[in-house]
Structure 1
Amino acid sequence: MSDRIYSRIAGTGSYLPEKVLTNDDLAKLVDTSDEWIASRTGIRQRHVAAEGETTGDLAWHAAVRALEAAGVAASELDLIVLGTTTPDLVFPSTACLLQHRLGANGCPAFDVNAACSGFVYALSVADKFIRSGSAKTALVVGAETLTRMVDWSERTSCVLFGDGAGAVVLKADAETGILSTHLHADGGKKELLWNPVGVSVGFKPGEPNAGVRINMTGNEVFKHAVKALDAIVEETLQANGIERSRIDWLIPHQANLRIIEATAKRLEMPMERVIVTVDMHGNTSSGSVPLALDAAVRSGKVQRGQLLLLEAFGGGFTWGSALLRY
């Protein structure tokens, strides 16, 4: 038996708001159609948070389900890391609010903002805590209410995004779990996909939410995403000395079906071994990978002992991957 400590996924959970916005619904708001959206993105519908429903609310539902699946009480948690780019408040962090709501007071809790890569970043951070022995049980969440940042008059971007949350409970394990994580960023490309407003930049007196919108140069983002994900797939395989054929499931960030298909092609992996939820969820940013993982686990597709490759690309730019034995 190795002395190495792994972070094993003990349970998964997810949550989607009740309201569903279909492509046909969007066609009533902007000049678009179901065929136009689906042919370019693979998206058919997305979920939208109700008035008063926050990122923290979505995260709480997903977290409760993950804890139940893992058979873990909130009081047992040693760490909470939450990936989001749409926090409830500037501070305290949404993770702190979630910690109190769960009744897990005392353990460290903090947010990670890496846009659509947020969950993979958060997973990597939690894995390091467990590997070092600083934590034995951790809750990792990806949650977003991105529709609050959408310009509903901009037809090329408003069709892409949805709200949702996913969560996993990690437990220290001597035999199996996360094999490696790989993270990268390039802030030099920020204006290709960004929100130009922050606390210290862009606000005008008396207009606290002015300009809080997603700005994206879609074709450039696509090219950079495909290139970056190609590279990180190769990096992950080489770091673990494995062949592409050994991966049982690819669980990618659900941004665009074309990007997902390009990554699968790089892996020489048939789409039957790729988890796709973008058609039903749209792009839920940091929520997308754990949402897809939970859907795959609960449907019975992903089984214990299988090798999973998780990957994501987001604004920043940020990108990352995680290879794990489920």
Structure 2
Amino acid sequence: MTVTAAYLASVGTCLPGEPVDNATLAKLVGVDEQWADMFIGNTSRYFAVDLATGQLRHTLADLAATAADRALAQAGLEAGDIDCIVMGTATPDQLMPATVNLVADRLGIDNVPTYQLQSGCAGAIQAMDVARTMLLAGRCATVLVIGGDVCAKHLETDFDPGSRTSAELVNYVLFGDGAGAAVLSAEPLGQGIAVPQVLNRLVGLGREPGQVIDWFGLADRHSDRTVVSEDYKAIEAAVPVMASQMFWELLDGLGWSAEQVDYLLPPQLSGRMSDRISASMPAPRARRINVVRTVGNNGNALPFLQLAELLEQWQGPGRAVTVAVESSKWIKSGIALERT
């Protein structure tokens, strides 16, 4: 089979429970509501964990299976139509079995290749890259791509709010949980939006990680190491630059000009940072797609939530560019989309 293009057929998303606003966070974990609004810019987020009790209400497999079901329905496909599944996540439910295989089982998909990529915010784009490569190689006709994270399971819930610094509390304001899925196809199904390019670049040689999420086993579960840590100064300095670099790399590879971009989906660390990052990617005609303010930074779910919002707004022919940056070991990635 000769395949010359890959197409985005559909997108499905899933957010757990009801949104948690800054006033609720202030009561639960002691976050200053005005500080959250002014310096982070996120107004709400969704948690798979009940912060009041510490109970996990939704697993990543729960959220991913729901998002995948919705993507299949949007594309008018059944589980049996899927030839391959690729998933990107930084927070799998378990080390083994891989969460992608639990999701496949729930969907009733069997006897197909499955891949799970362990990666942060760029993992969703990396998964899209693998799917597109499989399609162009003629190995598959229809690929289900999934991305999601349950970040809240790494956050403490049993502590005295007054004992935490702003640097520790920022994670409760910044992050959220969720999952998304897309169907990519070798023929124009559903939305039938062409995916002419997907790029991923590791650019972390010799650079300290900007974010670390630790994993504890039985031997070190009582370690005093911090579970989640970030170098926000490094992230604020590096992400806009990396986003701009990927933006121009995508355009140069396709021969597009910035004036020809109709929609821009920038990396979204926070509501405040998304504006700064957007400004570093000059596209004078492009409408910006910003969802992080209301859903939180939910890692590998976020690109799919952006794409879902894009499809709601996108009418007629046009071009869109989405960029994601991972600060754990510095990965820049992006996708170009075109509707003719």
TM-score normalised by length of structure 2: 0.86
Do residues 28 (structure 1) and 40 (structure 2) align? no
**Equivalent-residue separation in structure 1 for 2:20 and 2:280 (angstroms):** 32
SS of 1:130's partner is helix
Amino acid across the alignment from 2:335: A
Which region of structure 1 is more displaced relative to structure 2, 232-241 or 175-184? Answer: 175-184
Offset of residue 109 of structure 1: 1.1
- How far does the alpha carbon of each residue in 1:111-140 deviate from its partner, in whole angstroms, 9 at most, with x for none? 112201110110011000001111110011
Offset of residue 190 of structure 1: 4.6
Q: Of residues 280, 283, 289 in structure 1, which corresponds to 2:294?
A: 280
Offset of residue 83 of structure 1: 0.9
Amino acid across the alignment from 1:13: G
Do residues 100 (structure 1) and 100 (structure 2) align? no
Aligned alpha-carbon RMSD (Å) = 2.3
Q: How does 1:227-266 map to 2 (within 5 A)?
A: 227-266=241-280
Cα 1:111/1:303, change in 2 over 3 Å: farther
SS of 2:9's partner is strand
SS of 1:173's partner is coil
Which region of structure 1 is more displaced relative to structure 2, 146-155 or 44-53? Answer: 146-155
CA contact (8 A) 2:9 2:193 kept: no
| Stretches (4+) displaced over 4 A | 208-212
Offset of residue 80 of structure 1: 0.5
SS of 1:48's partner is coil
CA contact (8 A) 1:264 1:270 kept: no
Offset of residue 6 of structure 1: 1.5
Offset of residue 325 of structure 1: 1.5
Aligned to 1:76: 81
Cα 1:100/1:209, change in 2 over 3 Å: farther
Cα 1:294/1:252, change in 2 over 3 Å: same
CA contact (8 A) 1:85 1:115 kept: yes
- How far does the alpha carbon of each residue in 1:265-314 deviate from its partner, in whole angstroms, 9 at most, with x for none? 233336971111111111000110101211332xx312353311111112
SS of 1:134's partner is coil
Do residues 62 (structure 1) and 63 (structure 2) align? no
Amino acid across the alignment from 2:91: T
Do residues 134 (structure 1) and 139 (structure 2) align? yes
Amino acid across the alignment from 2:34: E
Identical columns (%): 26
Cα 1:55/1:210, change in 2 over 3 Å: farther
Which region of structure 1 is more displaced relative to structure 2, 263-272 or 4-13? Answer: 263-272
Q: Where in structure 1 are there 5+ consecutive unaligned residues? A: none
Offset of residue 187 of structure 1: 5.7
CA contact (8 A) 2:262 2:286 kept: no
SS of 2:140's partner is coil
SS of 2:283's partner is coil
SS of 1:320's partner is strand
Cα 1:29/1:102, change in 2 over 3 Å: same
Q: Of residues 173, 189, 196 in structure 2, which corresponds to 1:179?
A: 196
Offset of residue 20 of structure 1: 2.3
Aligned to 2:228: 214
Which region of structure 1 is more displaced relative to structure 2, 30-39 or 10-19? Answer: 30-39
CA contact (8 A) 2:199 2:333 kept: yes
Cα 1:122/1:93, change in 2 over 3 Å: same
Aligned to 1:223: 237
CA contact (8 A) 1:197 1:212 kept: no
**Equivalent-residue separation in structure 1 for 2:38 and 2:181 (angstroms):** 30
Which region of structure 1 is more displaced relative to structure 2, 116-125 or 257-266? Answer: 257-266
Offset of residue 212 of structure 1: 7.1
Aligned positions, number: 318
TM-score normalised by length of structure 1: 0.90
SS of 2:87's partner is strand
**Equivalent-residue separation in structure 1 for 2:213 and 2:114 (angstroms):** 25
Do residues 48 (structure 1) and 62 (structure 2) align? no
Q: Where in structure 2 are there 5+ consecutive unaligned residues? A: 50-55, 158-163
